[in-house]
Amino acid sequence: MPQLIIEQPGVPPRTVAMSENEVRLGRAEDNTVPLVADEVSRHHARIVRRDSGFVILDLNSLNGTYVNRQRIVERVLSHLDEIWLGSKCRMVYRDDTDFTKLGGPLPGDSSLREDISRIREEMSRVDSNLTLIGKRGRTPVEQATLLLPEATAEDVVKMGLAYRRLSALYQASKEIASEFDLQKRLASVLDTAISVVDADRGFVLLRDEASGALMVSVAREMGKDLDASSPSMGIAGQAAFDGQPILMNVGQGTANGDLATRASVIQQRISSAMCVPLRVEDRVLGAVYLDSRRAGHEFTHEDLELFESLAAQSAMAIENVQLYARMVEAEKKRANLGRFLSPAIVDEIMKQDKVLELGGQKRVVTTMFCDIRGFTPIAERLSPADLVALLNEYFTAMTAIIFEHQGTLDKYIGDEIMAVFGAPLSGVDDPARAVRAALKMQKVNAQLNAQRAASGAPLFEIGIGICTGEVIAGYVGSPDRLEFTVVGDRVNTARRLCSLAEPGQVVVAYPTYEHIRDIVNARPIGTVMLKGKESPEHAYEVLSMKD
């Protein structure tokens, strides 16, 4: 599968599969591949599929698009073309669809699969006899020869080596599973693989769960050889995208001739390389690449089988860490949402699996403010402990009613409560739910007052103001601490109506009254002149629900 390997300052190389008919490149978030280099335009270039290949088109970018150092408007891409977006973002287009170019078997090559199958059959055949080799009175070679007459001393040495390596693999699997930090686990995977198959260096490509791109997560001794045009990056990306292992040896004759003559391979002095996908069932999490730079040192099919086994165990261990991280993040998100949303709305948002981000959008909501009348004199008469206890009792009861009617608790402002109906999830009955909640809040507060009077505590009298209309709703704050809120003229109107409401009153603006006039008993109470408005706002007191 063709791929695009991207390098940007301060960012690890990433590999993107050219699996779609179009790839859009730029700094804007709506691009297929969002970039961060400062010379890249918001919408810089497109790569589109044409016939059997791909074409890159510049989108009138400020700093230009270059292919092989020539500025272009449109250009058909070829294998190993070097692309620059401005002077800071470098990309290499690779089309390694024919693995004879890489000096190795084609993905799924039958000879490789047959060799691995044969190795497994032989290991299975001797497995039941190996326990007898340790008997006293004979050397291991003599015992093996008795048990397996066709076995030579060399065969026994090979079997011993194989089982020592399998033992190392077993120990490695325990070490990998013992670490629950993803980066440490990836490092453990790579170090173990290098040790078990006697490689010189390597790296791990891991698929980003959000974008699907492959990122270099951990590397050992690679230095600058993780360049986008290096064969190592191309091989690793291909193994991850195709989900097939790759084994190549430079010194295997004509089959490797093209690889052996590549300048990049000669420059890196790679004598042998292999790469296997990190696969869990039908999903590929990434790939692990290893190579050797020692003359005459070549990986075998047995090495590749061992490498695949290690990768299979590693993939499960890596996925467990990712699942754990997602669970922790989901619980943090649920706990954060649960502070101001009802459980039903939290469940709905969790099902949608949306990421909470800074920013807002226009939407129609119903905003409610509820305020305790004469709170300052009450606060002056009570001790801090008694005041906090009364407020906690009051806030708990009022918040439960808001959640019961699927409202959002925006915030507590001193003794005032701000709630929103219609964000982050909206419904056609948002105004009705807000009014029902307000009436119940007045009713429950009256019941609490009866209890307060019986205990000698001061009474709370509350006024409520409600307004429906378009606002800006979203998450504000910092990336570390987000708060959901709404802002706009209709919010200010609701707060003004709350300040004018008498104790026990629920006052709504005309836009809210329009939505609920058929289901409530209400009366007009005149108009309210709001600051900065040329015309007054008509207000209504809601007395009760008709039902």
In a domain, 332, yes or no: no
Domain co-membership, 253 together with 369:
no
pLDDT of residue 138: 47
- Positive or negative, the Cα torsion across 447, 451, 453, 454? positive
Q: What is the pLDDT of residue 156?
A: 60
**CATH number of the domain where residue 167 is located:** 3.30.450.40
Residue 73 and residue 115 in one domain: no
CATH at residue 387: 3.30.70.1230
Question: How confident is the model at residue 106, as a pLDDT?
Answer: 39
| Same domain, yes or no: 387 and 292 | no
Indicate the residue among 290, 325, 360 that finishes a domain.
Answer: 325
Q: Is there a single domain that holds both residue 394 and residue 289?
A: no
Domain stop point among 325, 355, 384: 325
> What averages of pLDDT result for each successive group of 10 residues across the chain (547 residues)?
89 86 92 92 94 92 94 93 93 69 43 53 53 46 52 62 63 62 83 87 88 86 78 86 86 43 59 90 90 88 85 83 78 74 68 60 93 92 92 94 91 93 86 96 96 94 96 77 82 93 95 95 88 81 91
In a domain, 334, yes or no: no
Question: Which CATH number fits the domain that encloses residue 29?
Answer: 2.60.200.20
Q: Is the domain of 259 the same as that of 370?
A: no
Kindly state whether residues 217 and 186 are assigned to the same domain. yes
- Give domain status of residue 420, yes or no: yes
Tokens of 192: 């173990």
Q: Is residue 176 part of a domain?
A: yes
330 assigned to some structural domain:
no
> Domain boundary residue among 68, 94, 120?
94
Residues 83 and 119 in one domain: no
| pLDDT for position 223 | 76
> How many domains are there within the chain?
3
Of the chain, the end-to-end C-alpha distance in Å amounts to: 64
For residue 335, being part of any structural domain is answered with: no
Residues 75, 111 share a domain: no
> For residue 481, what are the contacts with CB-CB under 8 A and spacing of at least 6?
none
Supply angle C-alpha 314, 315, 317, rounded to 5: 65
Q: Are residues 461 and 421 located together in one domain of the fold?
A: yes
Query: How many Cβ atoms are within 10 Å of 197's Cβ, its own excluded?
Result: 22
- Integer angstrom CA distances of residue 181 from 279, 327, 328, 465: 19, 14, 13, 50
Q: How far is CA 526 from the centre of its chain?
A: 53
Q: Is 329 exposed, middle or buried (0-12, 13-18, 19+ CB in 10 A)?
A: exposed
Amino acid 112: pLDDT? 47
Are 376 and 505 in the same domain?
yes
CA 223 to CA 517: how far, in whole Å? 73
Residue closest to 205 by CA, chosen among 236, 247, 163:
236
| 74 and 111 housed in the same domain | no
Question: What CA–CA distance (Å, rounded) separates 6 from 529?
Answer: 59
Domain housing 312: 104-325
Residue 291 domain flag: yes
Q: Model pTM greater than 0.85?
A: no
Per the domain annotation, does 443 fall within a domain? yes
Provide CB contacts within 8 A for 522, sequence distance 6+: 508, 513, 516, 540, 541, 542, 543
Is the same domain home to 90 and 111? no
